Structure formats: structure tokens, C-alpha cells
Amino acid sequence: MAVCPADDRHVAVLAFPYGTHAAPLLNLVRRAAAEAPDVTFSFLSTKASNASVFAGLNEEQLHNIRPYDIEDGLPDDFVPSGNPQDPVAYFVKAMPANYRTAMEEAVAKTGRQITCLVSDAFFWFCADMAEEIHAKWVPLWTAGPHPLLAHISSQQIKEKLGPDGVQENKEIDFLTGFNGLKAADLPEGIAELKEDPFSMMLDKMGEALPRATAVAINSFTAVHLPIAHELESKFHMFLNVGPFILTTPQSVTLDDEGCLPWLDVQEEGSVVYISFGSVIMPPPDELAALADALEEGKYPFIWAFRGNPEKSLPDGFMERTRKQGKVVGWAPQMQILKHSAVGVCMTHGGWNSILDCIVGGVPMISRPFFGDQMLNTSTLEHVWEIGVGLENNVFTKEETLRVLEIVMSSEKGKMMREKVFELKDFALEAAGPEGDSTKNFCTFADILSGLPHDRLHHHPHGLRGIRHKIAGAFAAAHHKFSRRHHHAKH
């Protein structure tokens, strides 16, 4: 297979415009585009998603990346119900026609045929689409390795668990890396077939991914070696290229509400940091229980709170805890997690947040809501042992005080901190100049740039010294801080 001339290469990037999917994909593409300035990148997502993820980026950062808006599939008379799954269902029904239309526009505007598809892993249809246009397909899985293995093993799981597997909450000890995990931990639709558009999309994805040229993931090999090796055996190529917080460009989050100076005067390892992501919040009774537990336990806290805390939290809580903690609308999460005063993070169990906590060296208390969050929660508790879930996955005052006591004050909590620091060191090493994630990113960039398949596995890393220096720069600041933070903790 001949190498395409640089001025003929055109990568179409198909983003999933909901949740925290489009931004990580754009960050990965930005790094690849910077290393391949002669390759054209067309980024396809909805108008609202593009407006959000491209905000604040200038021409220098995007000189060979262009956004194209696709239809979101919503009817003209659509009225939001508050259920975040509703617009997703309409969007899934509009695929893949909405992407085909935008791809035709991108080809017409650039004058270049598409040579590679980079997509969210959800988009099963890219397997056929890539074959039709004789292009490569590199899907990005933005979540963790355990959910990925579960999705591509869906048929095996259904057969092994049987029709009553979920009700009986059977163990999933037949999958590599799943010891201690149970059927109820699995994302919906894996153990039992569901007919909604989102579940059917994931079911088709599990069948299509092994056809990809390579599958990239926002993770690092050493997070769980056995499962990394298992996934390598399932795909033509499997590329750990994360954690993205270390390996891709990140936007700067300002500390407008003074979280970091406040942390500077707190005792080491004493602060509870609370954030449930950008999509969902616990119901009112759980918010009240969490607030009551913080107040009764007298734990210093920073709470990144979406919405109006005065209306949602118990009467007088904000005033009574004015000196004890901070409730803020927006927080510089990574800087907070790297601060030695933070002792635990309360999270929804999303994969990006778990990686942030690992890189920050902070154990977790997880209250999952949907998708992969239950499986992530069980994994961090039973497989990695770097956090704890809640009984029945619900905040009550008593349960919140119990798990806070475990993480902040017990020998088990001390062990969690040691284990999360081990993973942190592995993550920093992976993202460093000679790390696995750096070398895998080079392979990812080579695929996009049109390097022939037979050279990918044996491409001499010695010729990539400049790339490795660039990659090392992403990790250097984190690594330097890590050592200082690690010595302070011990």
C-alpha cells in the first residue's frame, strides 16, 4: 500500500456530541494535527457541541482542523423533559445520514477525499463506512478498559449469566479482570437485551469494534495489565493513549472563587472535594444527607455545585459552614486534586473523574448514576482498591459518615492512598517521553498520517525523538509536582 501524498490526506473526525465525549476527542485530534500540519482534519459534531468544544481556541491552535455542524435529529417542536437520554435517542435515530451529509460537505470544501475516519467508539456504522470509501477507521473509547471488555463480550456475558443473571446478581468471574464484580455492576443492556436506541447502538458497537484498524482508549496500560493484554488480543491494534489529562492539550481552568488559597491553609489530607460531573446531580434527599454528614463530621470541604445551593441544600447550611467549607459554581478540579490538603474526592464514578483522581493521587467515594459508572465504582473498590462505594449506591447521613471515616481515618483508607499513588506513578510513567502511551500515540498519529500498515508495528521509535520530547512536556509538570506531593504525604 503506497503512502498518500501529505496534501491528499483528509481525516474525518466523527464526535458524539453528548456528555464528556466530544472534548476529549478534539484534544486528541489537536495533538495529532499539530504533528501532521499537512493533513486536513474535519471535525463533525452538532452546532451546540462544536460551539462548546471549540470555544476559546484560536487559529494557531486549529490551523488544519475545521468544524462542520451536523443535524441533531431533534424535531422542531421538541421540548426538553429534563431526561438527558431523550435528545440522545433522537440523535441516534438520525445517524449515520447526518454524518454522511457533513462528510460530503467537507470533501467538497477541501477538495480531498477522506483517507481516515476517527470516531467515537459508539459509532458502529463507521466499520462499513470506512470499507465503502477505502479508508482506515480508528475509534476512540473515552471510558475505561473494564466497560470496553464488557461491551465487546456482551454475547458471552448473556450466555454465561442466563436470563436471570442480573436478578440473581451473579459474579462475572469468567472475564479477565472482573473478579469481585457482579452482574448488577454492568452497564444497562449488556447482560440483557434492551430495545432503546442507545442500548442497541452499544450492542452494535461491541460487534463492530474488532473490525477497526486500531482502537484507541483514554487509559494507560499499567492501570490493569491483565485486562490490557486481553483487549490487545481482541483488536487488530489496541492503543492506550491516556490519561488525556497528561497526554493531550488541556484548557486552563481559572480559580475565580479562591479554592487554592483556601486549600493552602487547610491541614494535609483533611479536605473532602465533591463533584458529580457536568450531567447529573444526586436527588434532593441525598444532597441534604450529604450536607448533614459534612456538617456533623466537621470535615473541611470544597463542593463544586451546579445550580443554586441556597435552594438545594438544607436551610442555613451555607451560613453555618461558611468557615468549614466552600460551595463553588466552578472549580479547577485538577489543581485541587493535586493539592496535598485534599484527602478524598466524592464523585459520580465517571471515567474522566477517576483518571483525574488517579493523577492527583486522591482516593474516592463514588455514587454512580448510569452507564459505566456502576462498573467503575465496583472496579475502584474491588479491583484497584483505591476507593469505596455506598451501600445501595445512595447517600444517607449515616452511610456518608461511615465511608468518610473509612477513607479519611482508617488503616484501609491509608492503603487506598498508597495504591492510588502507585497508579499515579504508572500514569506519569506512561505519559513520559519513553512511556507506553507516548509510543502508542506515535502509532496513532502514523495511522492518521497514512503510514502503511506493515510499518506501524516496527516503526523505529528512535526516529521519533522530537515527538517524545513533546510528549514529555505534557507530563513533566505533573511529574515534578508528583514527587513533591508524594514526599509530603509520606
β-bridge mates for residue 70, sequence order: 46
- The helix (run of H) or strand (run of E) holding residue 116 is strand 116-120
Separation of alpha carbons 63 and 50, rounded Å: 16
Separation of alpha carbons 141 and 120, rounded Å: 6
C-beta separation of 301 from 271 below 8 A: yes
β-bridge mates for residue 303, sequence order: 274, 327
Separation of alpha carbons 12 and 349, rounded Å: 31
* Alpha carbon separation from 176 to 160, 170, 182, 202, 481 (Å, rounded): 14, 16, 13, 20, 34
Tally of CA atoms within 13 A in the half-sphere of 481 that contains its CB:
18
C-beta separation of 122 from 205 below 8 A: yes
- Report CA torsion sign: 482, 487, 488, 490: positive
Annotation says 479 is catalytic: no
Marked catalytic residue, from 7, 8, 10, 21: 21
Task: For residue 447, count other CB atoms closer than 10 A to its CB.
Answer: 23
Q: State the DSSP code for 215.
A: E
C-beta separation of 28 from 121 below 8 A: no
β-bridge mates for residue 67, sequence order: 43
> Cell numbers 477538495 correspond to what residue?
111
Which residues in 154-247 belong to E strands, given as ranges? 215-217, 238-240
C-beta separation of 222 from 384 below 8 A: no
User: How many helices (H) and strands (E) in the chain?
Assistant: 22, 13
Marked catalytic residue, from 72, 120, 203, 436: 120
C-beta separation of 273 from 342 below 8 A: yes
Q: CB neighbours of 443 closer than 8 A, spacing ≥ 6?
A: 214, 237, 239, 456, 459
Annotation says 63 is catalytic: no
> CA 261: distance to chain centroid?
28
Residues tagged active-site: 21, 120
